[in-house]
Structure 1
Amino acid sequence: MTKRNKIIYWVATLWLALGMTATSIVQLLQSKDETDRMSHLGYPIYLLTLLGIWKLLGVTAVLIPKFPLLKEWAYAGFFFAMSGAIVSHFAANDSAKDFFGPALLLILTIISWYFRPIERKPVTI
């Protein structure tokens, strides 16, 4: 892995971890803004707790060494959660500003996944 790719990986991964951790904390605290947003999108409030816990577990999986298959699942979970958020905002006819956070986290997920070091990839047969 080149030095350039390592830098891209770690910058994207750390920003992804920061973004996912920050949003998970907001979801776990269930602030009024967050519960209003979930209601607006048509989702039950208890989903905030599930998303918050899953995001923290996903961040842990992506950052810790080893466990490459677990990392794949974490990246997949981030991809599904963020693409689902984008589709949900689209379906609710939300403004462009509502797409920014999920779109940025989706892009960071893809970049981090693509540039991950070989030892963080599952073994293929």
Structure 2
Amino acid sequence: MPKRNKIIYWIATIWLALGMLSTGIVQLIQLEEETEMMKRLGYPSYLLGVIGIWKILGVVAVLIPKFPLLKEWAYAGFFFVMSGAVLSHFAIGDGAKEFFGPVLLLVLIFISWYFRPVNRKLVSST
């Protein structure tokens, strides 16, 4: 793997981890702003705790060495949560400000996943 790709991977992965960890903690402690946003989007507030826990566990899965299958699931979970956030904000007519975070995280998810080193990828059995 070229050095440039490693640098791209680690920059994207660190920013992704920081973004997911910080939003996961905010959701887990259910700050008032987050609770209000979930209500506005039409979701129950208990979902914040569930999403927060899974984001934090996903960060651990992406950062620890080995376990490539677990990493694939973490990336998939991140993608589902962030694409769901984008679609939810779109559905209620939110402005660009509300889209920025989830779209940025989607970009980081893709970059981190695409540039991940071989030892962090699933090896095909065919």
Q: TM-score range by the shorter chain?
A: over 0.9
TM (norm. structure 1) is 0.99
2:48 is equivalent to residue 48 of structure 1: yes
In the other structure, the counterpart of 2:104 is 104
- Structure 1: any 5+ residue segments left out of the alignment? none
Structure 2, unpaired ranges of 5+: none
Deviations 1:25-83 (A, max 9, x none): 11011111000000000000000000000000000000000000000000000000000
Q: How many residues in Structure 1 have an aligned counterpart in Structure 2?
A: 125
Match of 2:117 in 1: 117
Identity fraction in percent:
71
1:15 is aligned with what amino acid? Answer: W
Q: CA deviation at 1:123?
A: 1.2
Displaced runs of 4+ in structure 1, greater than 2 A? none
Partner Cα separation in structure 2 for residue 119 and residue 92 of structure 1: 41
Matches within 5 A, 1:22-101: 22-101=22-101
Question: CA RMSD, aligned part only?
Answer: 0.4
Q: What residue number does 2:6 align with?
A: 6
TM-score (norm 2): 0.98
